[in-house]
Amino acid sequence: MEYGICNLTIVPLRADEAHRSEMVSQVLFGEAFEIQMKSKEWTKVCMIADGYTGWIQNGQFLTLNEMQYQDYLSLDKEYVGFEGGFLTNDEFRIELLHGAVIRKDFAYLNDRRLKQFVVPHAPIDQTSFQLEVSLLAKRYWEVPYLWGGRSKFGIDCSGFAQLIYQSFGHALPRDAYQQAELGHTVDFLSEIENGDLAFFDNEQGRINHVGILLDSETIIHASGRVRIDSMDQEGIFNKELNKYTHKLRIIKRYI
């Protein structure tokens, strides 16, 4: 089995082996994956963190054998905080975005010196998590929506939820409908706690949207841009459009 590690700031994960193919997600620096198939210009991969599959252009990652990969896993893992940072030496500098993975002293850095990074501390209790997740989510306010995006330069609804939860050591799947299959159901709006996730469905009953609840009446979510809207038992109400834009299906708690 061969593995790979993203060694660039952020690269697209595509549905097929072509630049014109849909970007289904993005891979951040330091994230690892299994290599499933290779072609002349592209490699099909399966992400280790969430099992998501797609194609990455060759030249946008480093290949590891089994022994190198196990060495990589044995090192302590830290996530870069919202402020970001960079890796640098005398010749170049690689920017690190929020959510990038740092494993210190691994040989793949090729003597690159870790110059600066910010790592969020895992919360010590539920109250701490609720406060910190809300503060971090609000840092993404007005970030543009991008299908498949996972960064402050563009993000989609499920990528937003996944990235925020990941920052506190809680792994979520990539897509909203997958995220909705986990956690514990919150039955009443009055029982909502900030940090809970609300899921919404389309006319066919398929879950197609997710947002992070700031309280029982307010949600932050990526729709056109990362925005804060009001929510009730019917769904999300957009004051700018003066209408409900998303129909509430279920609320889940993971912590």
Alpha carbon distance 124, 143 (integer Å): 29
Tokens encoding 234: 């019917």
Of 121, 157, 184, 246, which one is the catalytic site residue?
Answer: 157
Give the helix/strand (H/E) hosting 20. none
Active site residue 209: yes
In this structure, the chain runs to a length of 255
Cα-only R_g, the chain: 19
- Residue among 19, 121, 184, 221 flagged as catalytic: 221
Q: How many CB atoms sit inside 10 A of residue 75's CB?
A: 12
Is 98 annotated as catalytic?
no
Amino acid at 73: L
Q: Kindly give the residue spans of alpha helices, DSSP state H, lying in the chain.
A: 66-74, 126-138, 157-166, 176-179
Residue 46 bears catalytic tag: no
Annotated catalytic residue within 6, 98, 170, 209:
209
209 residue type, one letter: H
For CA atoms 43, 48, 49, 51, the dihedral sign is: positive
The two structure tokens encoding residue 211: 């947002």
Residue type (1 letter), 37: M
Positions marked active-site? 157, 209, 221
